[in-house]
Structure 1
Amino acid sequence: MPGLKVVFCGTALGRVSAQSRAYYAHPGNFFWRTLSATGLTSELIAAKDYVRVREFGIGLTDLCKRHFGNDNELPSGAFDTSALRDKMLKYKPDVLAFTSKTGAAAFLQRATGAVHLGFHIETIGATRIYVLPSPSGQARVFWNQQTWQDLADAVS
């Protein structure tokens, strides 16, 4: 999709999302509420209506398209970083925002502990890379909505 402000990239669909065939579908996930609260969308979108994010210049993808579940349940080598890079070069969003340090670490080929939140110096063509704390309820202890707000402010 040309003209995207930001593409959010997760690691893989969780079980609830896979069953629902919708991104970030678990009721404990902060993703949809945060898009609305930060102004990335002007209204709260239901997970089942995820295609509507395009109306707001937003795209969604995952590093792993063939498996689902928690990150620790995914087989080794499940993340297709080259396919993601190719998509970003093709669609040229302003920002690729990883919705976890785990996904960013896999893409950037570094340890999770070496990945910081916010913008990174690496780019994919003209696409800037941004790392967010995971919106998953399982990562609630690391939650920080301000990092999401900073992204919203940067792309608006």
Structure 2
Amino acid sequence: MLPDLLQPGLSVVFCGTAAGTRSAREGAYYAHPGNLFWPTLFAIGLTPRLIAPAEYPLVTGFGIGMTDLAKFHYGNDDELPGDAFDVAALRARIERVAPRVLAFTSKHGGRTALGKQAGYGLQAITWGDTRLFVLPSPSGQARRSWNEQTWHDLARLVRDQSPGTER
């Protein structure tokens, strides 16, 4: 539904489950006004200013990429067909461009790709050289599980993994 923003050298790639209805209609990642994705990226310091959803192609300039588990379906997770998520294709895309970190923007996405043991935060496994991280969903529908601290933990990991920083 939405084009991937993937290229070698990215610090972090955010992976949603699927474009929501509003995002598919507007052709922009995390386009619903109730979604905290863009304000949170700014609040945790991964973007130098608040990015509007329609400006999403700019994020590669900040070392950020975007993709989804479901590239041919859109809507809420519970509306998607069982075969909507293509984990093998996602892993192949990620291993090809090798970002430092792949961050799933929901526990559901993380568990779909990594297995039921995946919890929030940095995972014990990697995909090639890419570290894996699971975040609480920024969707307004998932406000019960919202925790901005986990997003701050990701930002710290991304900064620590960036070239020219102490490890």
TM-score (norm 2): 0.90
Give, as a single letter, the amino acid of the residue that structure 1 aligns with 2:69.
Answer: L
In structure 1, how many angstroms separate the alpha carbons of the residues matched to 2:29 and 2:134?
18
The two structures, once aligned, show a CA RMSD in angstroms of 0.7
Instruction: Please state how far the C-alpha of 1:109 moved relative to its aligned partner.
Output: 2.9
Q: Match for residue 82 of structure 2?
A: 76
CA deviation map 1:40-86 (0-9, x unaligned): 11110000010011011000000001110000000011101011100
Q: Which runs of 5+ in 1 are unaligned?
A: none
Q: Match for residue 154 of structure 1?
A: 157
1:44 is aligned, of 45, 50, 67, to: 50
In structure 2, how many angstroms separate the alpha carbons of the residues matched to 1:57 and 1:152?
12
2:125 is aligned, of 122, 127, 151, to: 122
Q: Match for residue 61 of structure 1?
A: 67
Q: Do residues 10 (structure 1) and 16 (structure 2) align?
A: yes
Give aligned-pair identity as a percent: 58
Extract structure 1 runs of 4+ deviating beyond 4 A: none
Give, as a single letter, the amino acid of the residue that structure 2 aligns with 1:129.
Answer: L
Give, as a single letter, the amino acid of the residue that structure 2 aligns with 1:11.
Answer: T
Q: Which runs of 5+ in 2 are unaligned?
A: 1-6, 160-167
Give, as a single letter, the amino acid of the residue that structure 2 aligns with 1:55.
Answer: G
Instruction: Please state how far the C-alpha of 1:115 moved relative to its aligned partner.
Output: 2.4
Residue 19 of structure 1 aligns to a residue whose secondary structure is: helix
In structure 2, how many angstroms separate the alpha carbons of the residues matched to 1:152 and 1:127?
15
Residue 124 of structure 2 aligns to a residue whose secondary structure is: strand
Residue 106 of structure 1 aligns to a residue whose secondary structure is: helix
In structure 2, how many angstroms separate the alpha carbons of the residues matched to 1:36 and 1:68?
26
Residue 50 of structure 2 aligns to a residue whose secondary structure is: coil
CA deviation map 1:95-147 (0-9, x unaligned): 0000001111111132xxx3211001111001000000000000011100010
In structure 2, how many angstroms separate the alpha carbons of the residues matched to 1:18 and 1:88?
22
